[in-house]
Amino acid sequence: MSVTTTTAQELAQKVIQKEKLFILDVRNTDAFADWKVEGANFQYLNTPYFDLLDGVEDLLPELPSERPILVVCAKEGSSIMVAEMLAEEGVDVSYLVGGMKAWSEHLEPIKVADLRDDGELYQFVRLGKGCLSYMVVSGGEAAIIDPSRMTEAYIRLAQEKGVKMTNVLDTHLHADHISGGRTLAEQTGASYWLPPRDADEVIFDYQAMEDGRLLQVGSTQITVQALYTPGHTIGSTSFIIDDTFLLSGDILFIDSIGRPDLAGKAEDWVGDLRQSLYETYEELSPELIVLPAHFMIIDELNEDGSVAEKLGVLFERNHGLNVEDEKEFRTMVTGNLPPQPNAYQEIRETNMGKKSPGEDEQREMEIGPNRCAVR
């Protein structure tokens, strides 16, 4: 048997299409327990590479014959070796090119909707990290919201669409991943917008995205409207696009709500969080389609791989929106905070412009799942 390869893009399609797959993850047990490739129809076996140095014979009875087998490791080297050992035993097997490093960085663009006047809205799904970012295309221009640091994906789609990036926006100062906003603006000449209440310590120039601000994309009437919704951060700002879509940042997710503690101010900000969710959002149309900046579990993906749901549906189904007693809400939020994101303080300082880590260091800072939601 020969060893074949699976790219992160090919693996993304297997996730979206809910294909059957058996993943042999040869990372250490703690790394696997913390973070793995998620798929609705995936099966897993975690056997550390060092346990296989003497051979893979004991592994063979645990491998299925009816599912494709993919070997995964951190950066691909160990998975190549294990895949070759399995092939020598007659197993049809592939390995993930670039390992979990490549999986963490892959962005899958999915068209969410057609907008008026031939405009389009795209969602970039970062399946390996749970991050979501957006591109509004209209009238030869594009606006990017909450971009990841892998800016090539946005530039590539803009080039394919023949549009110029004019505006880049962040809904808040991120703490779980490094924003590509400032870099993307520098690369394209676009304006970079940031909520000013999150920017007290920012050391670079930016445009203030304040409550009620309207941005027009292209020559059409598609607008990006800012709505101040603090709680995850003191400056968290939601965007309403084309009177139809609510980009909720890290305030509201499909299956959870945002955590208020990534600046160490959970008790101070939990009241803001409740007000944003239970008052500001309550006044909006239930027909608005919520597009968050993260997803928590693979079950939140729709059939086409997008992450979206009507606001009215979330008010019915999302437990975080259905706690009537304010004291109970405070206890629920502050008592169910997951571990802090990996290197979150260093990530915040990088997004402020105070630190300039190299590419390898940035990658290491982001390793692991996103932890922006209340559990």
Is the model's pLDDT at 33 over the cut of 80? Answer: yes
Q: What is the pLDDT, as a whole number, of residue 186?
A: 96
SS3 assignment, position 224: strand
Structure token digits, residue 375: 């559990």
SS3 assignment, position 221: coil
83 & 116 share domain: no
Of the residues 84, 103, 122, the one at which a domain ends: 103
271 & 168 share domain: yes
Does any domain span residue 88?
yes
The neighbouring-strand residues paired with 121 are: 113, 136
141 & 81 share domain: no
Q: Spell out the residues 6+ positions from residue 9 whose beta carbon is closer than 8 angstroms to its own.
A: 106, 108
Is the model's pLDDT at 113 over the cut of 90? Answer: yes
Side chain identity at 142, as an amino acid letter?
A
91 & 182 share domain: no
In this prediction, residue 234 has a pLDDT band, given cuts at 50, 70 and 90, of very high
Does any domain span residue 371?
no
Domain carrying residue 142: 107-366
Of the residues 68, 103, 138, the one at which a domain ends: 103
314 & 263 share domain: yes
Mean pLDDT of 274-300: 96
23 & 120 share domain: no
Reported as a single tens digit per residue, the pLDDT across 330-355 is: 999 988 787 777 788 999 999 999 99
**What are the residue numbers of the active site?**
73
The closest alpha carbon to 217, from 141, 112, 131, 104, belongs to 141
35 & 122 share domain: no
Q: Which CATH number belongs to the domain containing residue 349 in this structure?
A: 3.60.15.10
Reported as a single tens digit per residue, the pLDDT across 56-83 is: 999 999 999 999 999 999 999 999 999 9
Q: Which CATH number belongs to the domain containing residue 15 in this structure?
A: 3.40.250.10
CB neighbourhood size of 316 (10 A): 11
Does any domain span residue 373?
no
Reported as a single tens digit per residue, the pLDDT across 141-154 is: 999 999 999 999 99
Mean pLDDT of 230-252: 96
The closest alpha carbon to 1, from 52, 53, 68, belongs to 68
Q: Calculate what percentage of the chain has a pLDDT beyond 90.
A: 87
58 & 181 share domain: no
141 & 98 share domain: no
Mean pLDDT of 256-283: 88
Rounded-to-integer distance, Cα 108 and Cα 132, Å = 10
Does any domain span residue 53?
yes
Reported as a single tens digit per residue, the pLDDT across 34-44 is: 999 999 999 99
In this prediction, residue 263 has a pLDDT band, given cuts at 50, 70 and 90, of low
- Give the pairing type, strands 164-169 and 141-145: parallel
Q: What is the pLDDT, as a whole number, of residue 219?
A: 82
233 & 296 share domain: yes
Of the residues 103, 123, 138, the one at which a domain ends: 103
Does any domain span residue 191?
yes
Does any domain span residue 98?
yes
* Mean of per-residue pLDDT scores for the chain: 94
Q: Strand 223-228's sheet: what is its strand order?
A: 214-216, 223-228, 237-241, 245-249, 289-292, 309-310
Q: What is the pLDDT, as a whole number, of residue 334?
A: 85
114 & 15 share domain: no
Rounded-to-integer distance, Cα 8 and Cα 151, Å = 17
Greater pLDDT, 234 or 374: 234
Mean pLDDT of 16-35: 96
Is the model's pLDDT at 264 over the cut of 70? Answer: no
- State how many domains the chain has: 2
Does any domain span residue 167?
yes
78 & 127 share domain: no
Does any domain span residue 372?
no
